[in-house]
Chain A
Amino acid sequence: MNKIKQIISKLTGLFRKQKAMPGDKIDITHKRFRWSDFIAEKIIKGVAFLSITIIILIFFFVFRESFPIFNFGSKDKPKTEQLTATKNQNNTANQNPQQEQYGVETTAPEKQEQYGAETSEPAKQEQYGVETTEASQQEQYGVETGKDSLMMGENKTPNEATESGSTNASNKQAIKTLITKTWQPVSDNPRYGLLPLLLGTFKITIISLLFAAPLAILAALYTSVFANKRLKEIIKPTIEMLAGIPSVVIGFFALMVMASFLQNLFGYATRLNSFVGGIAMGLAAIPIIYTITEDALTAVPKTYYEASLALGASKWQTAFFVILPAATPGIFAAVLLGIGRVFGETMIALMATGNAAMMGLNPFESVRTLAATIGAEMAEVVFGDTHYNVLFLIGSMLFIFTFIINAIAEFWVKGKLMKKIQGK
């Protein structure tokens, strides 16, 4: 019995909390294992990887939606088979429309393509088939058909039958039109030329940088070198307050006030153009460029300044010929991040640039930027449609561009700056 009691007490002792009594020896060489610590550490570590996970997820899902546009022509089926396939599909769609309605949202675009027609002929065939189904569907759901692509904008619950057939054909068309000069996604013969959008974006970026970069850099130079402490404490927070203004408010100001003012000043024809939009976006980029430049300028060692003054240079000579060059990599990073901001700015572009996709180098013409195109058209597009995929393609282009810009600003420029200041 005693033995059993001993065993039991040993066993329970394993699970009981061990309290250190005054007479006990405490083992201080080994940490006691604690579940709470262990779990907390694991959770914290797990959550910390969330930001990396999000980046990867964004990468994956934005690409996933734009991918179908490249996914055509890989499986060539005989024509007849396609016809029966599409017809069958139409029939089933006709027979149980319920399934179709729910199926629409759940089937991924990749799946739809299996039925898809590779050539234009079956697509036509299919559209006839669709027309017959339309009548019944319209009554049932009040959904307009997707046959007329002009009407596509209004119908939010897409018609699977039309899509599955025409998506592939139109994908093929879309790929061909990607490098043309016309952006006309909503028409009988949709064209997805990205050139005017790219040109517009670059135009706006250049204009806004020409406006914002000198102002912000010079202002940063003033606050970090010339200004006395009191002035600095007024100007710096004020410029940083500009960062707190929502871009939609800047867009509103540009649209309502600045556009008319600048038109009166310069007397050009179109009220909303890339010039107005560029200046408005410059306002959004100024706080970014200013803050990072200011940091870079104050990071220049005080000894540089003192050595320059000791050699007889005046204050402004020191500022422009010693401090500014020493901080060049930081300023370059600031301008890069400013470019990134302008490149992806949506609301200002939507409100103040006129939104007309035109090819032309005149800064007083309306333009349409990449981001504004997504913002304006995504809400009216059919899920899984070619237009939808092209918009996601634009999105992934923007993503890659800003990712690269950030990587350059992060690794290349900062490494260079550190080396330069440490004198290596």
Chain B
Amino acid sequence: MMLQKFYNSVRSKKQNRNNTITELNADGFSTTFQKNSFFEMLKLKTNRYKRDAKGFIFEGITLASALIIVAILIVMLVVIFNGGKSMFTWEFLTTFPKEGMTKGGIFPAIYGTALLVIIMSIAAVPFGTITAIYLTEYARENSFIARSIRFAVRTLAVIPSIIYGLFGLGFFIKYVGTGMDSVFLGGHLKWGQPNILWASLTMALLTLPVVIVSVEEALKTIPRELREASLALGATKWQTIRKVVFPGSISGILTGAILAVSRGAGEVAPILFTGAAYYLATLPGSLSDQFMVLGYHIYIMTTQSANVDQTLPIQFGTTMVLLLLTFSLNIVAIILRYRIRKRRIA
């Protein structure tokens, strides 16, 4: 009786092993074995472990490094959301900072970020879209011009953001701004100083490659046959672009705009000296005003404020708001992009 039971259990295990080994065989780990012999299988199994001990370790190392990265990300998110969740109230989002920025909300920073991002998109999205249309529709794939434009776009993507800040200062403020002042206002200082317009334009340059890349990706998913059909029906190239290519690329443009917004909302270095302000009692009313931004607010609250410990909740709260903003935008962009890719496969 006992023996029968034991035999059954061994048999079931044996069958399990059978399965595992056939699976492994498909991957090319083991070569020959006899299914019937229990002992030979055992031998093979131990052999397999001996041979693949290194494999286990190496695969484990790669898995561990992937998990470490994910874990750091999760820890970061948990810590920030844990610290900021008590501050995340309607009042915090809609009131001005009070008592030397030790209390109150972050409304002007949210407002400034929104304004910055809107002006930036107005500048960056059309130009980015047109460049992408040129690259996919007009330029030949391997022509010198197309290659140099692609190189320029990639260079724009890797230039440190602080360089954009310097460029904004040297070009927009000191060259264009002061030039405008001396021509239109007779030297009266209005545009030749940091303001929201120059900050937004600087940010637009920074986010231009993001828009170009995602619009180009979307344009490539539009089937060649559609364009050819349109041309064969007698439409000109521009008509084809306007009526066939452009409507198909709207989701790509949207993705690009969202990614650009999420990048622009988080960057601080380009606006450090092109328009961001430490504290303002009023909201920016015109393009020539300075403004407050979430990212810059975090930076000054953590490093420049008189009492860092006292304002710790505000710092966590602001960081959490910024993270929520960029993350939600990113997730929307990922979903849109996923749908575009699906279309390409279909």
Contacts and interface: CB of A to CB of B under 8 A. Distances in A.
Interface of A: 31, 34, 36-37, 40-41, 43-45, 47-52, 54-55, 57-58, 61-62, 64-65, 102, 105-106, 214-216, 218-219, 221-223, 225-227, 235, 237-239, 241-242, 244-253, 255-257, 283, 286, 290, 309-310, 312, 314-317, 319-320, 337, 340-341, 343-347, 350-351, 371, 374-375, 378-379, 383, 391-392, 395, 398-399, 402-403, 405-407, 410
20 contacts: A34-B238, A48-B139, A50-B208, A51-B212, A215-B65, A222-B62, A223-B66, A235-B70, A244-B327, A246-B323, A248-B322, A312-B28, A315-B59, A319-B58, A346-B160, A346-B269, A351-B303, A378-B165, A378-B273, A407-B155
A222 B65 contact: yes
Contact of B153 (A51, A65, A317, A345): A51
Given A105-B181, A106-B178, A241-B327, A314 B28 contact: yes
Interface of B: 27-29, 51-52, 54-55, 58-59, 61-63, 65-66, 68-70, 72-73, 76, 79-80, 127, 130-131, 133-135, 138-139, 148-149, 151-156, 158-167, 169-171, 174-175, 178, 181-182, 187-189, 192-193, 205, 208-209, 212, 236-239, 241, 262, 265-269, 272-273, 295-296, 298-299, 302-303, 312, 315-316, 319, 322-323, 326-327, 330, 334
B163 A58 contact: yes
A215 B79 contact: no
Given A314-B29, A314-B52, A57 B130 contact: no
Closest 3 pairs (CB-CB, A-B)? A344-B160, A246-B266, A48-B134
Given A45-B138, A49-B149, A55 B155 contact: yes
B296 to A, nearest CB: 8
B80 A253 contact: yes
Nearest to A47: B130
Nearest to B148: A52
A62 B170 contact: yes
A314 B30 CA distance: 9
A65 B167 CA distance: 10
Given A314-B51, A379-B273, 5 more contacts: A51-B149, A346-B268, A374-B166, A378-B169, A395-B166
Given A246-B322, A253-B79, A392-B170, A398 B163 contact: yes
Given A41-B238, A315-B55, A379-B272, A58 B167 contact: yes
A319 B268 CA distance: 40
Contact of A215 (B68, B133, B149, B187): B68
A410 B65 contact: no
A351 B315 CA distance: 13
A378 B298 contact: no
A340 B51 contact: no
A387 to B, nearest CB: 13
Contact of A55 (B152, B236, B296, B315): B152
A54 B206 CA distance: 10
Contacts of B236: 31, 34, 37
B154 A410 contact: yes
Contact of A351 (B65, B69, B148, B302): B302
A343 B160 contact: yes
Contacts of A343: 160
A235 B66 contact: yes
A226 B62 contact: yes
Contact of B159 (A41, A45, A399): A399
A351 B269 CA distance: 12
Contacts of A257: 76, 79
A309 B30 CA distance: 11
A392 B162 CA distance: 11
Contact of A249 (B139, B174, B266): B266
Contacts of B212: 51
A374 B52 CA distance: 53
Nearest to A44: B134
B66 A222 contact: yes
Nearest to B209: A51
A343 B161 CA distance: 11
A123 B3 CA distance: 107
Given A48-B135, A215-B68, A256-B302, A226 B63 contact: yes
Contacts of A221: 62
A398 B160 contact: yes
